Amino acid sequence: MPAELSSPSVRRVLKEKWLSETDFTRSYDHSNIVLMRLEVVADALSKADVDALLDLPTVDSNGHSQEAGTELFLQYLKEKYPEAISERAEARIAASK
């Protein structure tokens, strides 16, 4: 991230913006992009933020799961920012193995 965008306040603003735009029902590719953006601000994510992501719907209007990359995202958080991993997120990681 460019230096002018790397301040904690900018990261918090981006985190809030990107969390509010998160939609796991649009497409598989969109879900991956959403999670990649959130990796950029992962240090600003809280357990509550991660749990809120896990609560979002993941099935499109045709009944297909559009959730992509969630397990990889959670594993990334666990490795880099373990303080953001809640019990629910830990259970989700364990279930994916």
**pTM above 0.95?**
no
C-alpha span between 7 and 16 (Å, rounded): 14
CA geometry: angle at 58 spanning 72 and 35, to 5°?
35
Q: In angstroms, what CA-CA distances link 95 with 20, 21, 71?
A: 27, 27, 9
- Tokens representing residue 77 in the block: 């958080």
Q: Under a CB-based contact definition with an 8 Å cutoff, are residues 15 and 39 in contact? A: no
Domain limits, the chain: 3-95
Q: Please write the tens of the pLDDT for every residue from 37-91.
A: 999 999 999 999 999 999 999 999 999 999 889 999 999 999 999 999 999 999 9
Residue found under tokens 């990649």: 36
Q: Answer whether residue 97 shows pLDDT above 80.
A: no
